[in-house]
Structure 1
Amino acid sequence: MSNVAHPTDSTTVAERVRELMNRHGIGKRQQTTELCRILDLSFSQGHRKLRGNSPWTLTQIKRVAEAFGEPVGQLFAGQLLDPGVLGASAQEALLCVSVAELPCTAWIGAPAEAGSRPEFVAYEKQGQWRVVRPDGSLYQNAHEVHKIEIYPRRAEADKPVIAVVDDDRASADNLRDYLEHSGYAAQALYGLAAFDEALESQVFDGVVIDWLFGGQTAADSIRRVRSSENPDAPIFVLTGELLTGKASESEISQVVRHYDVACYEKPARMAILVADLSKRLNRS
Structure 2
Amino acid sequence: MSTSKSTPIELKISEMLSNIMNERGISKNKHTTHIANVLGITITHANRKMKGFASWENSQLEKVAKSLGVSLSDLFKMVEDSYEEKHAGKYIFNKEVLEGEITFSPDTERTYSAVKINDQWHIFKTDDIKGNDIYEESRQGVLRFSIESSVRDKSKPRIALLDDDKEILTTTAELLKKGPYKIDTFTSSEDLIARIQSSPYDGYILDWVVNDKSTYDVCKKIRESKKPHAMIIILTGQTGDFIDQEIAEAFNDFDILGFYNKPLRIATIQVNIDKYFRNRT
TM range (shorter): 0.3 to 0.5
Between 1 and 2, higher relative CO (CA 8 Å, sep ≥ 6) is seen in 1
Q: Larger radius of gyration, structure 1 or 2?
A: 2
* TM-score relative to the length of structure 2: 0.45
